[in-house]
């Protein structure tokens, strides 16, 4: 549920502003009152309001003065001018100065409610547009690559996107299957229509069918109104069934017929509804094995897999790691409003050599954790190794040089000896059978913190 709009009513007639507050609060709005322009400006400077409804003609500062202050200092606040018949012309002039609309006091308050709802809708659309732009920017970046293997995947995507054939996307958890599905949709002839994602793993069998097919009013206990399902809502657009390998066998049988005929029936109805959608599915399971184990229908597999696209795991496209690391570090800092001074070579070496079994999703989560843990100093592996930053302790040893392996082992051993000798440099050097000067150089080289 969206947050209630915060409104300020400004009017020098006590009875009118009180009545208006009662009407607006009954509609669920949060309402403050001001008796004149001066007190209104003081409140506007103190609090954030979505909409200011101000009388045009008042003693002292009038509605136009309030409007000018809003447009100069609080551009995200809308203003509706309230006026009597005699001052309609002035209200129209105020609209030219940036007022959203005007309301005549003698008119039905529903006209005012209508304008407030219109402002609310515009705001919701603007917020959604910003969210989609941000999401699209993220998707675009994740699809950039220097990996020949992933370039072949993207070349196949661009080849099939313009067709209307069913696509099955395969790949490990976290590789970005939904990102790729959205990219196919955005490159298709249906790009101006809806992209309707459904995570099949998130629902039980009965809830999944209700989600896909919708239901009629009174179809079952608690169904108080008609509800369209995802098949129907995806009409003319793209339906994306994620984790399709987790759909129960009974539901698979029903879905097969729906995909073949592009027809569905809502739960509780015998009426057939035609719906035209482009189908994209995805799974991290081996569907051939699932078919052999009698957990997935072979005929459904053939129906959904006109084109099969496999996304390589992140460990097979290590060429993209430097670019992705930089992107997610920058994004995490922007999102958290926090600056990181830098990353030490030892930590960067670990980040570049780690296998990321959770793929891009794990990479993003690791970077966010690092930014959260970051203090005023440069981030080092030594500083964060006591926290559960990595979901797996398995480093990609085969991707590390022999020199790096030796350096990593040497650093750990030196740190252990220092700790056992309470950071006594001379005694630690004696145990390590090196000079104190050599130990100091090693401590500096490996960025080992003394205590």
Share the mean pLDDT of the chain: 84
pLDDT tens-place string over residues 101-137 = 889 888 898 999 999 998 888 877 766 555 554 445 4
**Averaged pLDDT, 307-322:** 93
% of the chain beyond a pLDDT of 90: 38
Q: Mean pLDDT, to the nearest integer, of 420-427?
A: 86
58-72, 374-388, 435-449: which has the minimum mean pLDDT?
374-388
Contacts of residue 101, Cβ cutoff 8 Å, sequence gap at least 6: 80, 81, 95, 115
* Together in a domain, 169 and 285: yes
Whole-number pLDDT of residue 395: 44
Asked if residue 255 has pLDDT above 50, the reply is yes
Provide the pLDDT for residue 70: 92
Q: How much is the pLDDT for 217? A: 75
Residue 156 lies inside a defined structural domain of this protein: yes
The region of weakest confidence among 48-52, 66-70, 253-257, 366-370 is: 366-370
Question: Higher-confidence residue: 243 or 121?
Answer: 243
Residues 256 and 190 in one domain: yes
Of 312, 330, 346, the one marking the end of a domain is 312
Q: What is the average per-residue pLDDT within 284-304?
A: 94
388-394 contact pairs (CB < 8 A, 24+) = 390/354, 390/366, 391/357, 391/358, 391/362, 391/365, 391/366, 392/355, 392/357, 392/358, 394/355, 394/357
Residues 222 and 307 in one domain: yes
- Band the pLDDT of 1: cuts 50, 70, 90: very low
Q: What's the CATH number where 171 sits?
A: 3.40.50.300
Angle at 51 between CA 50 and CA 54, to 5 degrees: 155
Q: What is the pLDDT of residue 440?
A: 82
Residues 331 and 306 both lie in one domain? no
Same domain, 255 and 325: no
Mean per-residue pLDDT for 26-41?
Answer: 93
The total of structural domains in the chain comes to 4
- 222 and 255 part of one domain: yes
pLDDT bucket at 280, cuts 50 / 70 / 90: very high
pLDDT digits (tens, 9 = 90+) for 166-213: 999 999 999 999 999 999 998 899 988 999 999 998 888 878 888 899
- In this structure, is residue 129 part of a structural domain? no
Q: What is the pLDDT of residues 401-412, one digit of tens each?
A: 556 667 777 888
pLDDT band at 87 (very low <50, low <70, confident <90, very high): low
267 within a domain of the structure (yes/no): yes
Assess whether pLDDT exceeds 70 at residue 390: no
Q: Is residue 137 part of a domain?
A: no
Question: Do the domain assignments include residue 131?
Answer: no
Query: For residue 118, is it within any domain?
Result: yes
Do 346 and 292 share a domain, yes or no?
no
Identify the CATH number of the domain in which residue 437 sits: 1.10.10
Same domain? For 300 and 406 the reply is no
Which of 143-147, 304-308, 355-359 tops mean pLDDT?
Answer: 304-308
Tell whether the model's pLDDT for residue 83 goes beyond 50.
yes
User: Are 96 and 195 members of one domain?
Assistant: no
Is 90 within 8 Å of 64 (Cβ atoms)? yes
Task: Answer with the one of 254, 286, 312 that is the final residue of a domain.
Answer: 312
Domain holding 97: CATH number? 3.40.50.2300
Check which CATH number belongs to the domain holding 390 and give it. 1.10.8.60
Query: What is the span of the domain harbouring residue 413?
Result: 401-451
- 241 and 191 housed in the same domain: yes
Lookup: tokens for 328: 């997610």
Assigned domain for 132 exists: no
Q: Which residue, of 71, 91, 124, is where some domain finishes?
A: 124
270-299 average pLDDT score: 93
341 shares its domain with 425:
no
Q: Does 130 reside within a domain?
A: no
Q: How many residues does the chain have?
A: 451
Residue 219 has pLDDT above 80, yes or no: no
Both 101 and 202 in one domain: the answer is: no
């Amino acid at each position: 549920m969206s947050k209630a709009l915060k409104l300020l009513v400004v009017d020098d007639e006590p009875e009118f502003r009180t009545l208006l507050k009662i009407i607006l609060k009954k509609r669920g709005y949060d309402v403050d009152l001001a008796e004149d322009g001066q007190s209104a400006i003081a409140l506007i400077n103190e609090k954030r309001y979505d909409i200011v409804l101000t009388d045009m003609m008042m003693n002292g500062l009038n509605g136009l003065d309030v409007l000018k202050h809003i447009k100069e200092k609080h551009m995200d606040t809308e203003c509706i001018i309230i006026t009597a018949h005699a001052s309609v012309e002035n209200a129209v002039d105020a609209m030219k100065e940036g007022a959203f609309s005007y309301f005549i006091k003698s008119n039905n308050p529903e006209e005012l409610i209508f304008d407030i709802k219109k402002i609310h809708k515009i705001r919701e659309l603007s917020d959604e547009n910003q969210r989609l732009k941000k999401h699209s920017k993220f998707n675009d970046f994740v699809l950039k690559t220097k990996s020949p293997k992933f370039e072949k995947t993207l070349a196949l995507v661009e080849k099939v996107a313009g067709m209307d054939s069913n696509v099955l996307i395969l790949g490990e958890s976290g590789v970005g299957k939904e990102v790729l599905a959205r990219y196919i949709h955005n490159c298709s002839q249906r790009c101006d229509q809806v992209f309707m994602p459904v995570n099949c793993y998130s629902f039980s069998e009965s809830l999944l069918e209700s989600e896909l097919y919708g239901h009629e009013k009174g179809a079952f206990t608690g169904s108080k109104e008609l509800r369209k399902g995802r098949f129907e809502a995806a009409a003319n657009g793209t339906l994306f069934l994620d984790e399709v390998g987790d759909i129960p066998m009974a539901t698979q049988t029903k879905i097969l017929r729906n995909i073949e005929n592009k027809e569905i029936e809502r739960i509780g109805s015998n009426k057939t509804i035609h719906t035209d959608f482009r189908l994209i599915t995805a799974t991290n399971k081996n569907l051939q094995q699932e078919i052999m184990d009698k957990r997935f229908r072979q005929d459904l597999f053939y129906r959904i897999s006109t084109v099969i696209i496999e996304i390589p795991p992140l460990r097979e496209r290590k060429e993209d790691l430097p670019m992705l690391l930089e992107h997610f570090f920058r994004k995490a800092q922007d999102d958290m409003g926090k600056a990181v001074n830098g990353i030490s070579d030892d930590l960067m070496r670990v980040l570049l050599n780690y296998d990321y079994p959770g793929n891009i999703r794990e990479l993003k989560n690791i970077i966010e954790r690092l930014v959260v843990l970051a203090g005023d100093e440069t981030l080092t592996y030594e500083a964060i190794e006591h926290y559960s930053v990595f979901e797996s302790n398995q480093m990609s040893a085969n991707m590390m040089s022999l020199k790096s392996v030796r350096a990593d082992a040497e650093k750990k051993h030196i740190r252990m000896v220092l700790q056992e000798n309470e950071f006594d440099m001379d005694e630690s050097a004696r145990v390590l059978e090196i000079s104190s000067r050599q130990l100091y150089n090693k401590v500096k080289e490996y960025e080992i913190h003394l205590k």
